[in-house]
Chain A
Amino acid sequence: MTEIFAFVEYAGEKILRVCQEAVSEAVRHAGKLDARCTALVLGHRIPPKVLEDLRRFGVDRVLVCEDESLSEYSTERYTDCLEQILKKQVPDVLLMGSSALARDLAPRVSARLGCGLVTEATFLNPQRGGLHVTRTAYRPHASMIFSFRDKGPAIVTLAPKIAEVERVPSKDRFTLESLEPRGMPLSLRGDRVKIEQAVREIPSQVDLADAEVIVAGGKGMQAGENFRLLEDLAEVLGGTVAASRMAVDLKWRPRECMVGVTGKVVSPSLYVACGISGAIQHLMGMQSSETIVAINTDPNAPIFRIATLGILGDVQDVLPVMIEAFRKAGVADRQERSA
C-alpha cells in the first residue's frame, strides 16, 4: 500500500500553520491515491491536544516518537531519528511544510538516505510513473516540474499558503502509534551545535527587513496623524508600519521606517502601499514582496504597475472599511478555529 507521511512541527499546543497545510495536503493526496496517510511527530512530552488536532485533519495514523533528546530541534539528532524511522517505515512520500526547521532538516535527510527532495513545492501531481512536483524557478519568470528517481521516499517541502487547511471527520481506522528508534539517546557524537540563547522577538519591534506584513504610507496619507489608520491596519494584520521617503521627509515617520533603496529593502508576503506613488527608489526597496496591495488616487501612479491588486481611492475612505472588514474576518476566523 502507498504510504504518505506528513511531518508535523508544533509550538506549545499549536501545530505550525505550514505543517497544517502539509497535513491537509497529505490527506488529500492519500485520498486521491487511495493510500494511507500518517502524521509523524517528533518531540518530547507532546501535548495531547496536538495529537487530537491531527485526528481532525483526517489522517489515518499518527506516529509519535518521543524522547528527551528530541525536545529541542537539533539537526543531527533529528536527522538520525528520521533516518531510522524512514528506513523502517519506508513511506513513498514524505511531505513537510517549508519551515525554518524543514529547510535545515529536509536536505540533510535527503542526502543521508540518498533519496530525492523538491523544496517549496506549489503543486503535487501524481502521475503514472510517479509523483510530479512543481515549484517556482527564476522567480517570477518560470516554474519547474520534477519527478523522482526510484530510491527512497520522495521528500517534498510545501511552500507556505499553497494548500488549504481542511478539517474533516476523523477516520474510523485512526491509530496512534509510538515509535522508539533504536539506540536512544541519539547522536552519540554529542552536540556539536548548541543553542546558547534564544531571545523572543517583540512583534512591534521586528525589523522591517524581516517583517511578514508591512503597511506603508506615503504622501497620500496627507498628514502624520493619519498614520494611525496604518497602525490600526497593521495591528489587524499582524504587521509593521513603514513609510516612503516622502513621509520621512515630511517628518511623519522616522528614517528607520523608510522603505527604499537607500533605506530598508523588504520582502514581506504582504505589502500594503497607502498613498505611495511608487517612485523607482521605493519600488526597488519592496518589489520582491509576494503580494502588493496599492491604494492611491492617481491612476497613473507607477505603484500600480507592480501591484497585485489596486484600489483607486483616497486612503482615508478605503482604510477604515478595510480595517473593519479584516477585523470582522479575524473574529470569524478565531471563532472557527476554536470551535
Chain B
Amino acid sequence: MNTGREIFWNISSRGMIYLFSVMAFAAFGYGMYRRYSMWRLGQPAGRNDHAWTRTKFTLNLILGHGRILRRSQPGLMHLLIFWGMVTLFVGTTIVALQANLGMRLLQGRFYLYFKLVMDTAGLGLLVGLLISVYRRYLQKDEGLDNQPGDGAVLALLTGIIVTGFFVESLRIASTGDPWGAWSPVGNILAGIFHGTAQNKLNSTHKIVWVVHAALSFGLIGYVPYSKMIHIITAPLNTYFRSLKPTGTMALLDFENDGIKRFGVGALEDFTWKDLLDTDACVRCDRCQSNCPAYATAKPLSPKKLIQDLRVHMTERGRLIPDSRNSVNNLIGDIIEEDALWACTTCGSCMEQCPVFVEHIPKIVGMRRNQVLMESRFPPELNSVFRNMEYSGNPWGLGQTKRADWANGLEVKVVAKDGAAEYLYWVGCAGSFDDRNMRVATAMVGILNHAGVDFAILGSEEKCCGDSARRLGNEYLFQSLVQENMKTLRSYGIKKVITQCPHCFNTLKNEYPQFGGNFEVVHHTEFIAGLIEMGKIKVKGGMGGTITYQDPCYLGRHNGIYRSPREIINILGFRLVEMRGSSQESFCCGAGGGRIWMEERLGDRINIRRTEDALGTSPESIATACPYCLTMMEDGVKLKDMDDQVRTVDLAELVIEAIR
C-alpha cells in the first residue's frame, strides 16, 4: 500500500530547521557543559564500579518507573508524560532520519501504525500535562512549591503538543490525507477547519509549523536551564547511586596526610555525586513529606537542603564570581546549624527519592566538619563524646560494670568461658538502661531455652560507635571500632546476634570497612529463625491487638520487615499496621544521635509517632529497638495511656509465650 507523507510539505524555509537545531544543540551543549563543570567542583566519589549492574538497574528504572509509581497520581502523570515524550522523540527522530538521510522509513503499514502511535502518545502527553496542571494549580498539592520555571515548562510542553496537533490537523484538512483516520486526534481537529479556504489553511499551517519548530527546539535548548534537566541528570544519578545499604557512611581516611579538611566545610568538599544530586532533584517533595524533623516544625527540610545547595553550587560555579556571595559559609549561611543537627538519619528521604538523591551523607559530611574541624556542636554532646571515649558508653557509667546486668543469669562471658558459637552483642542500652536490661534478660532466656551456644563480651564490649559516626565524630567512631575489632579478632568472633538495630547496622555494614567480617543478625531475625526450626516452642493465642513500630535502622536501612511480623503472627496477636509502616514508617526521633540531644525546637517527634500508634487502638505496641522502645514508651506515658497500652520489645513477648 502506498502510504506516507511528504516531509516538509508546505514548508519552504527548511533551512530554518537547521538554524533552530544548531542553536538548540549549542544551547543544550553549553548548558550541560556548565552544569557538568559545576559537578566537577566536587571530590571523587568512586562510583565507577559494577557498570553492568548499574546499567541494568538504570534501564529498569527508566522503563519501569520504579519508585515514581509509589504514588499513583503523580506516577500516572509522569508515566504519560514520559512515554509520550519518548515516543514523540523517537518518532521525530525517524522523521528526521527520513528527511536528512533519505531513508524511506515511513511507508506501508508501518507508517499507519506510526501515525496512530504518535497521536496516542501526544494525547497521553497532553493528559499527563493536564494532570500536572491540575495538581499544581487547582488541587494545590501542598508539597509542591510552584515556581515560575515549573509553569514555564508546562506551558512550553503544552504549547508544543497543541501546536503539533494543529500542524497535523491543518495538514490533514488541507491535503485531505487519505490516511487521516489513523491520526485520530489530528483527524478530529481537522474537522474544525472544514470549509476553510485552502490557502488560508496553508498559510496558517506555515506559521504554526514554525512556532512548533521553534518551541520544540527551544525545549531542547532549554533543558539544562530548567527542571527539564532531570531527563539527563535523573538517569545519571540513578546510574551513579550508592550500591551500599543506606545506613552506611563513607570511611574517612585519617591516615591520608593529603587531606587537610575533614568533612564538608565548603561546597567543594562534597563529592561530585553530591553535587549531581542537586541537579537531579525535581522538588517532588517526597523526601520532605515523611521527614520527622520537617513534620515537627524543625528548621530542617530535605528538599530545601538540596535546593539550597543547588543554588549555592550555581553561585560558586559562575564563570565570573560574584564577590558578594563568595563570603557565604556553607554551614551557617547556606545551611542553618539547627537544621543540620535536627536530622535523625531515618532515611525516609533517601527511601522515597525517585532519583536517588543522597541526603544523609551530606548532612553527616557537614556534621563531620563541624565536630572534627570546628569543635562546634550542641553542648550536651561534649560529655557524650567524652563518655564514649573514656567509658565506652554514652552515659559515662563504669566500663567494668557493663556485665552487671547479667548477674544471676545463665550467661557465659567470653573472657572467662571462651568464645561460643554466637556472640550476643548486648549494646549500651541493654547493658545499662534498666528498661532495656529487661529485653537483654528476655533474650538470654530465649537463647538458653533454644539451646543456643552464646556468650557476651561483658566489660570488654564497648559502644559500637553508631551515634558517634552519625553525629559526625568520625575520629571517635574509628577509635571505638579499632578497640572493638581488636577484641573481636582476638576471640575469633564470627557470628553475632544483636539486640539493637543500630548496633546491627554498624557491625554488619560498617565494620567491614575496618576488616570486620562477621555474620551479623538482628534478634528478630534470629528468633524468627529459631521458631521456624522448632527450637522454640511458643504457645500461640496470645491474642489482643498489637501494632509494630518499624525501626528505621532495621527496616528502611536494612530491609528487614518480615521477621518481626512473623513473630507477631506466630504469637497469635492481631496486627494492625499504623499509619505509615514498613518503608513508609515514621521515625521515633532518636536516631542520628538525637537521643543524646535536647529537642528544643518544634514539636516532639516521638509524640507524633505515638499518636500514630495509638491511632490503631492497640493493647500493645511492639518494637525491636531500644531507642524506639524508650521513645514510644515515653510517648505513651506522656499521653497518659500507660495503664491501657503496653510498650514492649518482641523478645519480651516471646519469652512470655515460652513460659
Interface residue? A278 (CB, 8 A): yes
The one of B597, B630, B634 that contacts A246, using a Cβ cutoff of 8 Å: B634
Q: CA separation between A250 and B607, bound complex, in Å?
A: 12
Q: Which residues of A contact B637 (CB under 8 A)?
A: 219, 246
Q: Are B396 and A280 in contact (CB under 8 A)?
A: no
Q: CA separation between A100 and B604, bound complex, in Å?
A: 44
Q: CA separation between A281 and B634, bound complex, in Å?
A: 13
B133-190 CB contacts (< 8 Å) to partner A: none
Q: Are A284 and B598 in contact (CB under 8 A)?
A: no
A217-245 interface bits toward B, Cβ cutoff 8 Å, 1 = contact, 0 = none: 00100000000000000000000000000
If A219-B637, A284-B396 touch, whether A262 touches B434 (CB-CB below 8 Å) is no
Q: CA separation between A246 and B433, bound complex, in Å?
A: 17
Interface residue? B257 (CB, 8 A): no
Interface residue? A209 (CB, 8 A): no
A280-302 CB contacts (< 8 Å) to partner B: 280-281, 284, 302
Interface residue? B638 (CB, 8 A): yes
Q: Which residues of B contact A219 (CB under 8 A)?
A: 637
Q: CA separation between A261 and B634, bound complex, in Å?
A: 16
Q: Are A261 and B380 in contact (CB under 8 A)?
A: yes
Q: Which residues of B contact A278 (CB under 8 A)?
A: 434
Q: Which residues of B contact A284 (CB under 8 A)?
A: 395-397
**Residue of A219, A262, A278 with highest tally of chain B CB at under 10 A:** A262
Q: Which residues of B contact A171 (CB under 8 A)?
A: none
Q: Which residues of A contact B433 (CB under 8 A)?
A: 279-280
Q: Are A302 and B434 in contact (CB under 8 A)?
A: yes
The one of B396, B432, B604 that contacts A249, using a Cβ cutoff of 8 Å: B604
Interface residue? B104 (CB, 8 A): no
The one of B397, B597, B604 that contacts A262, using a Cβ cutoff of 8 Å: B597
Interface residue? A56 (CB, 8 A): no
Interface residue? B449 (CB, 8 A): no
Q: Which residues of B contact A261 (CB under 8 A)?
A: 380, 383, 395
Q: CA separation between A278 and B433, bound complex, in Å?
A: 10
Q: Are B638 and A280 in contact (CB under 8 A)?
A: no
B420-436 interface bits toward A, Cβ cutoff 8 Å, 1 = contact, 0 = none: 00000000000011110
Q: Which residues of A contact B630 (CB under 8 A)?
A: 279
The one of B395, B597, B598, B634 that contacts A280, using a Cβ cutoff of 8 Å: B395
Chain A nearest CB from B263 CB (Å) reads: 25
Q: Are A250 and B435 in contact (CB under 8 A)?
A: no
If A249-B604, A280-B433, A305-B434 touch, whether A262 touches B395 (CB-CB below 8 Å) is no
Chain A nearest CB from B393 CB (Å) reads: 10
Q: CA separation between A279 and B626, bound complex, in Å?
A: 13
Q: Which residues of B contact A302 (CB under 8 A)?
A: 434-435
Q: Are B434 and A280 in contact (CB under 8 A)?
A: yes
B385-411 interface bits toward A, Cβ cutoff 8 Å, 1 = contact, 0 = none: 000000000011100000000000000
B395 to A, closest residue via Cβ: A284
Q: Which residues of A contact B435 (CB under 8 A)?
A: 279, 302
Q: CA separation between A280 and B626, bound complex, in Å?
A: 13
Chain B nearest CB from A292 CB (Å) reads: 15
A245 to B, closest residue via Cβ: B634
Chain B nearest CB from A279 CB (Å) reads: 7
How many residues of chain B have a CB within 8 Å of chain A?
Answer: 17
Q: Which residues of A contact B604 (CB under 8 A)?
A: 249
Q: CA separation between A305 and B598, bound complex, in Å?
A: 26
Chain A nearest CB from B99 CB (Å) reads: 72
Q: Which residues of A contact B596 (CB under 8 A)?
A: 262
Q: Which residues of A contact B383 (CB under 8 A)?
A: 261
Q: Which residues of A contact B397 (CB under 8 A)?
A: 284
Q: Are A246 and B434 in contact (CB under 8 A)?
A: no
If A279-B435, A280-B432, A280-B433 touch, whether A250 touches B396 (CB-CB below 8 Å) is no
Q: Are B396 and A262 in contact (CB under 8 A)?
A: no
B432 to A, closest residue via Cβ: A280
Q: Are A262 and B638 in contact (CB under 8 A)?
A: no
The one of A250, A281, A305 that contacts B638, using a Cβ cutoff of 8 Å: A250
Chain B nearest CB from A263 CB (Å) reads: 8
A256-292 interface bits toward B, Cβ cutoff 8 Å, 1 = contact, 0 = none: 0000011000000000000000111100100000000
Q: CA separation between A280 and B630, bound complex, in Å?
A: 11
Q: Are A249 and B380 in contact (CB under 8 A)?
A: no
Chain A nearest CB from B605 CB (Å) reads: 13
B583-616 interface bits toward A, Cβ cutoff 8 Å, 1 = contact, 0 = none: 0000000000000111000001000000000000
A177-232 CB contacts (< 8 Å) to partner B: 219
Q: Which residues of A contact B432 (CB under 8 A)?
A: 280
Q: Which residues of A contact B597 (CB under 8 A)?
A: 262
Q: Which residues of A contact B395 (CB under 8 A)?
A: 261, 280-281, 284
Chain A nearest CB from B434 CB (Å) reads: 4
Q: Are A249 and B598 in contact (CB under 8 A)?
A: no
B617-658 interface bits toward A, Cβ cutoff 8 Å, 1 = contact, 0 = none: 000000000000010001001100000000000000000000
Chain A nearest CB from B264 CB (Å) reads: 27
Q: CA separation between A280 and B397, bound complex, in Å?
A: 10
A301 to B, closest residue via Cβ: B434
Q: CA separation between A250 and B634, bound complex, in Å?
A: 11
Q: Which residues of B contact A280 (CB under 8 A)?
A: 395, 432-434
**Residue of B397, B432, B433, B434 with highest tally of chain A CB at under 10 A:** B434
Q: Which residues of B contact A281 (CB under 8 A)?
A: 395
B397 to A, closest residue via Cβ: A284
Chain B nearest CB from A247 CB (Å) reads: 10
Q: CA separation between A156 and B321, bound complex, in Å?
A: 74
Q: Are A262 and B634 in contact (CB under 8 A)?
A: no
Q: Which residues of A contact B396 (CB under 8 A)?
A: 284
Q: CA separation between A305 and B432, bound complex, in Å?
A: 12
Chain B nearest CB from A65 CB (Å) reads: 47
B550-588 interface bits toward A, Cβ cutoff 8 Å, 1 = contact, 0 = none: 000000000000000000000000000000000000000
A265 to B, closest residue via Cβ: B383
Q: Which residues of A contact B380 (CB under 8 A)?
A: 261-262
3 A-B pairs closest in CB distance: A302-B434, A280-B433, A262-B598
- 14 examples of A-B residue contacts, CB within 8 angstroms: A246-B637, A246-B638, A249-B604, A261-B383, A261-B395, A262-B380, A279-B433, A279-B435, A279-B630, A280-B395, A280-B433, A281-B395, A302-B434, A305-B434
Beyond A249-B604, A262-B380, A262-B598, 14 extra complex contacts between A and B, CB < 8 Å: A246-B634, A249-B638, A250-B638, A261-B383, A261-B395, A262-B596, A278-B434, A279-B434, A279-B435, A279-B630, A280-B395, A281-B395, A284-B397, A302-B434
